[in-house]
């Protein structure tokens, strides 16, 4: 397991949880550049925030999908914010809750002025689903930049990861205008976390 870059780890270790919000207008604005983590339920959003910040329980993780139903705001080193958004595309929550979550996600992305990058997480084993493509379409329609983080690569073989990466890149031809890059990561063995840390820190420069 790689311990990453000491300087970067120290930067991210200086973090604070600023709160949990159900409505976009309630999220406080400290005027720092902000990035958010979004994706299907259980894809590893909260886990990667803990891996990036090297802080075990900063974001609450769960084995049960559909748990995070609010936007959680974290401040890093008084320089950057990270937001953990609820998962989309989880069939088992009620229609009412699902609509509320979609409303929160969409209003957050549309209205949050300091939002500078969106990380869309995709489970490497599962690959792209309809709900992911719908979300990319939404981002393209409102001209928001995003990157993809392929998660849980520890569960896949080298060849499977390479094929999945290639397949997603092909799909991304349709989103060229707003798509940045793909990160291959595992929270379990810390693969690729350093690259994501570097990308986030660049947002603050
Ligand atoms: N094998 C493996 N499991 C992971 C990884 N990241 C997260 N998980 C597991 O996936 C489940 C969901 O993680 P969580 O971060 O709560 O997902 P979220 O719903 O997207 O926030 C938990 O049981 C985690 O332990 C990873 O990199 N590798
Ligand atoms: Mg979560």
Number of domains the chain is built from: 1
113 half-sphere exposure, CB direction, 13 A CA radius: 6
Q: Ligand 1, from 41, 42, 86, 149: best to mutate by most atoms within 8 Å of Cβ?
A: 42
Residue 163, domain member (yes or no):
yes
Dihedral sign from CA coordinates of 117, 101, 152, 18: positive
pLDDT in tens, 162-199: 999 999 999 999 999 999 999 999 999 999 999 999 99
What is the C-alpha separation between 199 and 183, in angstroms, rounded? 10
In a domain, 102, yes or no: yes
94 CA from centroid of ligand 1 (Å): 23
Q: How remote is the CA of residue 158 from the centroid of ligand 2, in Å?
A: 27
Q: Tell whether the model's pLDDT for residue 2 goes beyond 70.
A: no
Residue 116 is part of a domain; what is its CATH number? 3.40.50.300
How would you class 109 by CB atoms within 10 Å of its CB: exposed for 0-12, middle for 13-18, buried for 19 or more? buried
Q: What would the mean pLDDT of 28-36 be, rounded to a whole number?
A: 95
Which pTM does this prediction carry?
Answer: 0.95
What's the gap in Å between 43 CA and the centre of ligand 1?
6
pLDDT tens digits, one per residue of 78-131: 999 999 999 887 666 677 777 888 889 999 999 999 999 999 999 999 999 999
Is 1 part of any domain?
no
Distance CA 89, CA 123 (A): 13
Nearest CA to ligand 1 atom 26: 152
- Residue 72 belongs to a domain: yes
Which protein residues touch ligand 1 with a CB less than 6 Å away? 41-47, 61-63, 68, 87, 151-152, 154-155, 186-188
Range of the domain at 63: 6-203
In a domain, 167, yes or no: yes
Q: Mean pLDDT score of the chain, rounded to an integer? A: 92
Q: Which atom of ligand 1 is found nearest the CA of 121?
A: 20
pLDDT of 150 over the 60 cut: yes
In a domain, 193, yes or no: yes
Is residue 11 in some structural domain?
yes
Residue nearest atom 25 of ligand 1, based on CA coordinates: 63
CA neighbor of 33 nearest in space, from 152, 115, 136, 134: 115
């Amino acid at each position: 397991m790689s311990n990453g870059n000491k300087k970067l780890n120290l930067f991210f270790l200086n973090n604070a949880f600023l709160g949990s919000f159900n409505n976009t207008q309630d999220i406080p604005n400290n005027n720092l550049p902000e990035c958010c983590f979004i994706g299907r339920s259980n894809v590893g959003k909260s886990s990667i925030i803990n891996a990036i910040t090297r802080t075990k329980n900063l974001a609450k993780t769960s084995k049960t999908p559909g748990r995070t139903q609010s936007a959680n705001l974290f401040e890093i080193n008084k320089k950057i914010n990270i937001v953990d958004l609820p998962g989309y595309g989880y069939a088992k929550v009620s229609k009412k809750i699902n609509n509320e979550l979609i409303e929160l996600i969409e209003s957050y992305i549309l209205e949050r002025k300091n939002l500078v990058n969106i990380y869309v997480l995709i489970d490497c084993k599962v690959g792209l689903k309809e709900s992911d493509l719908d979300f990319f379409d939404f981002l393209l329609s409102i001209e928001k930049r995003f990157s993809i983080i392929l998660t849980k690569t520890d569960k896949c073989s080298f060849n499977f990861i390479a094929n999945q990466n290639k397949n997603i890149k092909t799909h991304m031809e349709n989103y060229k205008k707003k798509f940045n890059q793909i990160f291959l990561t595992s929270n379990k063995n810390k693969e690729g976390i350093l690259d994501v840390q570097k990308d986030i820190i660049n947002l603050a420069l």
